[in-house]
Amino acid sequence: MYNLSGKNVVVVGASSGIGAQAAVAYAKAGANVAILARRLERLQALEKELTSYGVQAVSIKCDVSDHQAIKDAAGQIFTVFPRVDILLNNAGVAVKGDLIELTEADWDWSFDVNLKGIFLMCKYILPNMIENQYGKIINISSINALISDKLPGFVRQSYNTSKKAVVGLTESMATYYGKYNITVNAIGPGFFKTEMTEGSLFKSAEFMSKHNERNPMGRTGAEEEMNGPILFLSSDASSYVNGQFLVVDGGLTLV
């Protein structure tokens, strides 16, 4: 049920972290993968690894805050893969600051990448899925759609708000596009050590101490621990799972 042989996958935000790990997991499961991000050199290095698993892979430079860049990227995807089966929207930014500190540009940047990028990517991929009467869309949100930061220096109010909006968009899409045999689900990662968090959250002894004390599992997540939930929502194992928000946080949001 988890076999993705012959499926064509688009991973947005694949140059590092959870996106890069997911791209490898998809390739190991037999899927062809289009990887998108701003840093093309990172993608090209990853592409070599993906093809070593005997699948087709293509690297496409794309800034998801730029409408034209997304439209162009979609065109490139369809020149390689005439059919897209799975779309993983993983690109994201976490701008620190409360509403008083944030500039309007900071606020717009968070929403352009975290929310509008998903809207636009789906806008250009969905018609293909509708035509083929099949699709799996997974949007990466955050546990910050459920809980908010309050430690000084780590407040991210634009991030929290945009990630909560991702869940709303996911539910709305699931309600409408389910009739086309397209499922749309969201995942809320807890705190994982990635390129985005390594230089901030993981450098704070105070943050790590408070997190690990509160988390029922007593630790943060490893990047590869996101692969199982992603593959589940991408495969036929989740054929009747639609519009759900799957939290992967070691139980942090329970306490």
Catalytic residue IDs: 159
Using the structure block, give the residue that is written with the tokens 């994982």. 192
Whether 3 and 30 have beta carbons less than 8 Å apart is answered as: yes
Whether 125 and 87 have beta carbons less than 8 Å apart is answered as: yes
Q: How many CB atoms lie within 10 A of CB 56?
A: 15
- The DSSP bridge pattern shows strands 245-248 and 135-140 to be unpaired
Tokens of 228: 């199982």
Q: Which amino acid is at 139?
A: N
Q: Which among 121, 96, 100 is positioned nearest to 110, based on CA atoms? A: 96
Residue 111 Cα distances to 81, 118, 119, 145, 164, angstroms: 29, 10, 11, 14, 11
Using the structure block, give the residue that is written with the tokens 């034209």. 68
Alpha carbon of residue 178 to chain centroid:
20
